Amino acid sequence: MAEFSNAFLEGLARMCSDESELALSRHRKTASKSLRVLSQHSYSQELDELRGRLVATSDVEDSHRRETAYEWFLDNYYLINETAQTLAEDVPANFYFELPSLVVTEGEKHTRLPRIYVLARELIEEISEPPNRVALEAFLDGFQRRVQLSIGELWAFPAMLRAVCLEKIVESLSLLSAEDNPETELDDLLSVHPAMVAFAVRTLIELKTIPWRLVFEHCSLVHRELLEDPAAVYSLMDFATCDRYRRIVEGLALRSGCDELTAAAQANALAQEASAEGHADGLQNHVGYYLVGNGRYQLERTLGAQLALRIKVGRTLMRLATPVYLLSIAVVTLCTIGLLAAYLVSVSAGPIAIILASMLALVPSSGFAIALVQWVITNLIVPERLPRLAVETGIGDENRTLVVIPTLFGDVEEVHELVRRLEIHYLANPDPNLGFAILADYTDALQETTPADEVLVARARAGIDLLNQRYGESGSGPFHLLVRERRLNALEGVWMGWERKRGKLEEFNRLLAGDRDTSYSLHVGDAGGLEDIRFVITLDSDTELPKDAARRLVGTLAHPLNRAQFDGDRLCSGYTVLQPRLDISPEASHRSRFSGVFAGDTGLDIYSRAVSNVYQDFFGSGVYVGKGIYDVDAFRRCLEGRVPENSLLSHDLFEGIYGRTGLVTDVVLFEDYPQNYLSYARRLHRWIRGDWQLLPWLRSRVPAGAGRLIANPFSQIDRWKVVDNLRRSLLPIALLAMFVSGWTWLPGNP
């Protein structure tokens, strides 16, 4: 089955390599009628007609052979119908007409068909048994030793095989059920076509069992070329990232007038040159740098790519992203306020009323403007997922990671819930190179220790020891408890954990780096489990980490194009922290009437979920909200000496700006929602208080560690992120003031 004669393959190659016959099938009228008729509606209708004609067949002598074909059709109707329904989805019209095509002569007719369809048809005609994976790979490999197939053709090949099988079924059943078959031809029909129906149905069944991704990667010449990546990274990536690389190769080849293999080889050649020049520690020796990274422009120049106007305009907008974004918001805001002012003029309002009403409308109007501009941008820009290494087989030793929950020990029940949550995280994300830790502070107190401290620690220690016994080996396991002692805060007048949550993580990072001069006074767990940790995933105590989410976050941050790259002390590319998408837990949204009403309203709770894709897709950097993964060394390097003590309560946005945040939109974490308004208001108060503490970072010189003032490193869009948080905190007050003013003293209709 896996062997095809040279004569057969040579004949196909000659037919498909005649340059005068090859072209892109741009016109619908040139499409194959046999393929067009296999749409869901027309095919179902035709099958109904065929069924009726077969049942009406009256020749008893030949009915058995007819019924054999009919039974194959009826018994597998679900499969045939499903194939017909999904055929258009597998090969959409716009994709179908871009496949390389050739003119096929059938009698006196000249029909232009996709080349890969012709190959599928010739293969089905050649074989006598349904093809398995080995046979298909042998056929494609043998043909490509003579003629190269494109990426699109290889993806379309299974759909074309199914189309040919459906065509054979329709054709055979139509002939068998025809009433005007000549007697001299009836025996030939009955001897051939029932077998053809059976063969086609068996082939459809076999095709469903074949792993087409593996077939594609085995046969794709572009994939084989990219595997020669000098940095040896391409072979380590997940399928979606590899597929993105290949799609870019397709586009480059189309715009450059060369074949896809040449485009891929040129990207490899540039990476090889960079490797030979000694860029072994950089990005330039990875082929992806020239496909999705900053080296793309160099590759386009080398290939002589002719960029479409749409691409040129898009890149111009990206270069001017900040002024385009901010000016658009300003224009829409002013236009909205202008409409209000025009209405007030129409009702003879005085200048003072117009000015005051415009001031009151500024914040709400800006909210409308931001929503509109972001909606337009997200519809104009196609978002791309960050590249990722494959993690199906687990996290490598070089990427050891800890999942940590920074928290306060309140009471015994809270400690019990924290231990339970840690166990759930482990069960959803088991991996030998993934550890789990609670980073705990005691609550604020008027003295260094309290009688309750010992009870809480004893309960937490017992819980961690039990988990390590249950899931560990030889007395050690993946679970840890680290508790900090209180330090006197003279400014607050209390004993507390140094710098609260930010301090927990900062001291923990120092501890991982080997610094023992921290306020962590207790560690429960295997000390070796804290060695050689590269990444930390930080979660809140109410955050849910879904199955394999930790692996996917690690695989994303470990990809070379996402790793933080420094020029001296300046972060020049990559990310130190990745922010997954956040959503409200379905369970949390049904715990009370309040959460049921408001948990689905992203406009009310802007912090937990509304991380705009615009920041990632338009500016290349997202917004950090405190739950995500960070590179321990790079994160420390970006923040070292940047934060003055006793100055920041809400530090997530600050850290995300300094460390540059990447948004991982295809990894979702779930978190709890307040069950009543008072809990919600207390949480919102903490957030708003923290946002306003960032006000000094809007100046030209900003505070840093040891009481220093340094030049503000924030870009314009970074400062806008701070301003936008402040604007949102004012929105409820501004809306209330507008409503009250409209109901009371403003002229016109309220």
Amino acid identity for residue 9 in this structure: L
Whether the pLDDT of residue 194 is over 90: the answer is no
pLDDT of residue 81: 80
Q: Contact at 8 Å (CB) between 25 and 99?
A: yes
Least confident range from 27-36, 69-78, 330-339, 588-597: namely 27-36
* Residues 435, 477: Cα–Cα separation, whole Å: 8
Write the CA distances from 720 to 364, 508, 615, 701, 708, integer angstroms: 17, 31, 11, 16, 24
pLDDT of residue 603: 44
* Residues 83, 512: Cα–Cα separation, whole Å: 56
Write the CA distances from 373 to 319, 334, 381, 609, integer angstroms: 17, 13, 12, 19
* Residues 355, 341: Cα–Cα separation, whole Å: 8
Whether the pLDDT of residue 253 is over 90: the answer is yes
Tokens of 666: 């295809």
Quickly list DSSP for 651-716: -HHHHHHHH-EEEEEEEEEEE---SSHHHHHHHHHHHHHHHHTTGGGGSSEEE-GGG-EEE----H
* pLDDT higher at 166 or 613: 166
Q: How many residues does the chain have?
A: 750
Whether the pLDDT of residue 23 is over 50: the answer is no
Tell me the mean pLDDT in the region 483-505: 93
Whether the pLDDT of residue 492 is over 60: the answer is yes
Q: Contact at 8 Å (CB) between 559 and 237?
A: yes
Percentage of the residues of the chain whose pLDDT score is greater than 70: 87
Tell me the mean pLDDT in the region 482-494: 93
Q: Contact at 8 Å (CB) between 237 and 388?
A: yes
| Bridging pattern class, strands 565-567 and 570-573 | antiparallel
Whether the pLDDT of residue 608 is over 50: the answer is no
Residue 592 main-chain phi, psi, to 5 deg: -155, 165
Q: Contact at 8 Å (CB) between 638 and 701?
A: no
What residue has token string 């301003």? 723
Whether the pLDDT of residue 203 is over 90: the answer is yes
Q: Contact at 8 Å (CB) between 549 and 429?
A: yes
pLDDT of residue 50: 64
pLDDT tier, 26 (very low <50, low <70, confident <90, very high otherwise):
very low
pLDDT of residue 44: 57
What is the dihedral sign for C-alpha 241, 244, 248, 254? positive
Q: Contact at 8 Å (CB) between 160 and 113?
A: no
* Residues 293, 286: Cα–Cα separation, whole Å: 10
How many Cα neighbours within 13 Å face the side chain of 327?
6
pLDDT tier, 19 (very low <50, low <70, confident <90, very high otherwise):
very low
Query: What single DSSP character describes residue 643?
Result: -
Tell me the mean pLDDT in the region 420-445: 96
Whether the pLDDT of residue 726 is over 80: the answer is yes
pLDDT of residue 54: 60
* Residues 141, 153: Cα–Cα separation, whole Å: 14
Residue whose C-alpha is closest to residue 579's, from 608, 605, 599:
608
- For Cα atoms 88, 93, 96, give the angle at the middle one, nearest 5 degrees: 95
| Bridging pattern class, strands 570-573 and 577-584 | unpaired
Percentage of the residues of the chain whose pLDDT score is greater than 90: 63
pLDDT in tens, 208-240: 999 999 999 999 999 999 999 999 999 999 999
Q: What is the pTM of this model?
A: 0.90
Whether the pLDDT of residue 665 is over 60: the answer is yes
The residues near 637 (Cβ < 8 Å, ≥ 6 apart) are: 564, 566, 569, 576
Tell me the mean pLDDT in the region 362-389: 92
- For Cα atoms 1, 83, 131, give the angle at the middle one, nearest 5 degrees: 0
Tell me the mean pLDDT in the region 394-405: 96
Whether the pLDDT of residue 144 is over 80: the answer is yes
Residue whose C-alpha is closest to residue 206's, from 79, 92, 86, 118:
79
Residue whose C-alpha is closest to residue 615's, from 563, 579, 666, 566:
579
Tell me the mean pLDDT in the region 672-688: 90
Whether the pLDDT of residue 465 is over 70: the answer is yes
* pLDDT higher at 590 or 146: 146
CA-CA-CA-CA dihedral for 627, 480, 564, 710, to nearest 10: 80
What residue has token string 């231990």? 419
Whether the pLDDT of residue 62 is over 60: the answer is no
Whether the pLDDT of residue 58 is over 60: the answer is no
pLDDT of residue 22: 43
Tell me the mean pLDDT in the region 495-511: 94
Query: Which residues, in sequence order, are bridge partners of residue 479?
Result: 436
pLDDT of residue 195: 82
* Residues 151, 149: Cα–Cα separation, whole Å: 7
- Average pLDDT over the chain, rounded to an integer: 87
Helical packing angle, 716-743 and 351-380, nearest 10°: 130
pLDDT in tens, 73-86: 878 878 888 888 78
pLDDT of residue 34: 45
pLDDT of residue 63: 55
Tell me the mean pLDDT in the region 268-291: 87
Whether the pLDDT of residue 559 is over 80: the answer is yes
Tokens of 36: 């067009």
pLDDT of residue 180: 59
* pLDDT higher at 52 or 750: 750
Whether the pLDDT of residue 191 is over 90: the answer is no
* Residues 143, 13: Cα–Cα separation, whole Å: 7
pLDDT of residue 499: 92
Q: Contact at 8 Å (CB) between 622 and 718?
A: no
pLDDT tier, 134 (very low <50, low <70, confident <90, very high otherwise):
very high
Whether the pLDDT of residue 278 is over 80: the answer is no
Tell me the mean pLDDT in the region 297-318: 91
Least confident range from 112-121, 173-182, 389-398: namely 173-182
pLDDT tier, 609 (very low <50, low <70, confident <90, very high otherwise):
very low
* pLDDT higher at 194 or 208: 208
* Residues 380, 195: Cα–Cα separation, whole Å: 52
With 0-12 CB in 10 A as exposed, 13-18 as middle and 19+ as buried, what is 531? exposed
* pLDDT higher at 382 or 124: 124
What residue has token string 């820009």? 381
Tokens of 574: 């990559």
Residue whose C-alpha is closest to residue 126's, from 22, 219, 5:
5
Max Cα distance, the chain (Å): 108
Whether the pLDDT of residue 143 is over 80: the answer is yes
pLDDT in tens, 297-306: 999 999 999 9
Mean pLDDT highest for which of 278-292, 412-426, 574-588, 594-608? 412-426
